Amino acid sequence: MIQGTLFDGRTSSGQEVSLHCDSQGQVSVEGGNTASLHFSELKISPRIGQTSRYVTFPNGSQFETDNNDAIDALLVQWQSSESKIQRALHRLESHWRNVSLSVIFLVFFGWGLVQYGIPHFSRELALAAPAKISQLLGDSVLKSIEEIWVQESTLGQIQQQELTAQFQALVPNDEYEWQILFRQGGILGANAFALPNGTIVMTDELVQLAHNQQQLISIMAHEVGHVIHRHGLRTLIQKSSLAVLLVLVTGDVSTSSSIITALPAILIEAGYSKTMEREADTYALEYLQQQKIDPIVFAIWCDIL
């Protein structure tokens, strides 16, 4: 006999009853209107510490009891496979050492996922993604950038044409529709950034800061390296993956939506990882060596920025 409270599933009121299970597994409730039925037809809530257990009947009524041991004994007798799993989980959560080890494992697993798993996943996915995705994403980000961050360039047309010609001479002939755009940086100041679709945005302030065109060529090559290695797409995938991870852990959808909405700002302000910057630097230095340009130009320019 297991003492507890029976709720009919229609109202919040309950009545004190006794649940009985005979040697054949037939369950009856003394003091309630629930029909007798076999134990296998019941749904038993898992054991969580010393909290109450719930026995749900097919008609929607529920039997609540604090006698966890008695419920476990019935599970052992009539639902052996399920009871083994529940007993194992209960043992894990009932010992502080197991809980501590689980927390430590989750912390290291989460750190490894963010530090290595997501970057590796984003790199492979970005390299496998068709160029059309980069094109659509770059167009969308460029539209947001021009609406919020930059203004029309004040550089002379001749200067823009000369720099554009130099840019077109250094870009590879591949699937990207390469273009360089000059804009007033405003709060961005002297800056240049690459979009996933092969568009390079260079601010007037950066052009005016350069001492010669070789410095600007080195920056162009660096930004082209970001596109070649798909750093923009990889960064966006990483940030989106982190948002999905946060949703899975916290259940807070607003967190992910705010990150995804901020993707244009992420590309401009957050910058790239050190690994990505080294890849772009390597690409730029290799190009400079091919063009017989002293790499020291690029090194000095990086120190200035």
| pLDDT of 19 higher than 80 | yes
How much of the chain is in helix, strand and coil states, percent to nearest 5? 60, 15, 25
Q: What is the pLDDT of residue 31?
A: 79
C-alpha closest to that of 133 among 190, 195, 217, 43: 195
Q: Quick one: tokens of 140?
A: 């969308």
| pLDDT of 161 higher than 90 | yes
- Residues 255 and 249: their CA atoms lie apart, in Å, by 11
Q: What is the pLDDT of residues 178-228, one digit of tens each?
A: 999 999 998 889 999 899 899 999 999 999 988 888 999 999 999 999 999
Q: Quick one: tokens of 53?
A: 């257990």
Could you tell me the CA-to-CA distances from 94 to 16, 42, 73 in Å, in that order? Answer: 29, 25, 18
* Contact call for residues 119 and 273 (beta carbons, < 8 A): yes
| pLDDT of 56 higher than 70 | yes
* Contact call for residues 18 and 29 (beta carbons, < 8 A): yes
Q: Residue 65: enclosing H or E segment and its boundaries?
A: strand 62-65
C-alpha closest to that of 279 among 216, 224, 225: 225
| pLDDT of 160 higher than 90 | yes
Q: What is the pLDDT of residues 68-127, one digit of tens each?
A: 889 888 887 776 555 556 556 656 666 677 667 778 887 887 778 767 777 777 778 777
Report which of residues 187 and 154 the model is more confident about: 154
* Contact call for residues 183 and 155 (beta carbons, < 8 A): no
Q: Residue 67: enclosing H or E segment and its boundaries?
A: none
pTM of full prediction above 0.95? no
Least confident piece of the model among 49-58, 160-169, 240-249: 240-249
Q: What is the pLDDT of residue 282?
A: 92
| pLDDT of 261 higher than 70 | no
Mean pLDDT, all residues of the chain: 81
Report which of residues 115 and 28 the model is more confident about: 28
